[in-house]
Amino acid sequence: MRLILLGPPGAGKGTQAQRLVERFKIVQLSTGDMLRAAVKAATPVGLKAKDVMARGELVPDDVVVAIVADRIEEADARNGFILDGFPRTVPQAEALDRMLDQKGLALDAVIELKVDEGLLLKRIEKRIADMTARGEPLRPDDNPESLKKRLDAYRAQTAPVTGYYACKGVLRTVDGMASVEKVSADIAAVLDPPSGPSGRPAEKPAPGRRNADGKVDGWPSRP
Ligand code: AMP
């Protein structure tokens, strides 16, 4: 299973990615986490990314693409992966397509968590307040100024990525404002639509069609 989770900061991508990791036994590849680790370890990439990230701006495409290209080569990603926070620009999406093509791989789905932007800032502010109350460390970009920049970057550079995948017919949209449980259930429904023996969506049998016992078939039962 190879998935992408798209959505603005605060949409719940990280939480849902964790659940998908458990469910499908795939790895979560979060470019934000990888870049934060690089900053912490003061690697050349980390030194380049540190200030850009703190300001809430996007790290250059070539830097992020190189990190992802290396990471998906690793053994634990062979079983599948869920990309969280990547691609964030159309050139990154194009680079990912080239990477997957070279390996003969394809994406199973791109899931967009759709959220009400008006409520998003409040949601993020609440998350920051909760983390502060629990004594958890905040990220350097968890401040109102950087948050606004992160949302601006999403609107300008990442929102067009949904159009890119919509054109390819792989985009699935889920209401990200629902409860965590409901969002998980909706993602599960998107990934496991009820299917017939062919694997294609189940169809209603032709009216009056009879089965081997001579009885009229009903609707296929959902698993
Ligand atoms: P995140 O943890 O996904 O919110 O990412 C935190 C920060 O890391 C972002 O605000 C960007 O500065 C940087 N970042 C993460 N992923 C990407 C990406 N795919 N492209 C460019 N910058 C990224």
Q: Is residue 101 part of a domain?
A: yes
Whether 219 is covered by a domain: the verdict is no
Tokens standing for 2? 């190879």
| pLDDT tens-digit series, residues 66-107 | 999 999 999 999 889 999 999 999 999 999 999 999 989 999
pLDDT of residue 196 exceeding 80, the answer is: no
Query: Residue 187's domain is classified under what CATH number?
Result: 3.40.50.300
Q: Note whether residue 203 is domain-resident.
A: no
Cα(32)–Cα(113) distance, integer angstroms? 17
How many domains are contained in the chain?
A: 1
| Residue 100, C-beta contacts closer than 8 angstroms, at least 6 positions apart | 2, 106, 107
Say how many Å lie between the CA of residue 150 and the centre of ligand 1.
9
Residue 131 in any domain: the answer is: no
Is 130 among the domain residues? no
- Structural domain for 74, as ranges: 2-116+159-191
For residue range 57-77, what is the model confidence (pLDDT) as tens digits? Answer: 999 999 999 999 999 999 999
CB 156 within 8 A of CB 162: no
200 is an active site residue? no
Residue 88 is among the residues annotated as catalytic for this protein: yes
Task: Assess whether the C-beta atom of 56 lies below 6 angstroms from ligand 1.
Answer: yes
Residue 57 resides in a domain? yes
Kindly state whether residue 222 falls inside one of the protein's structural domains.
Answer: no
Cβ 88 under 6 angstroms from ligand 1: yes
40 or 126, greater pLDDT? 40
pTM to 2 decimal places = 0.83
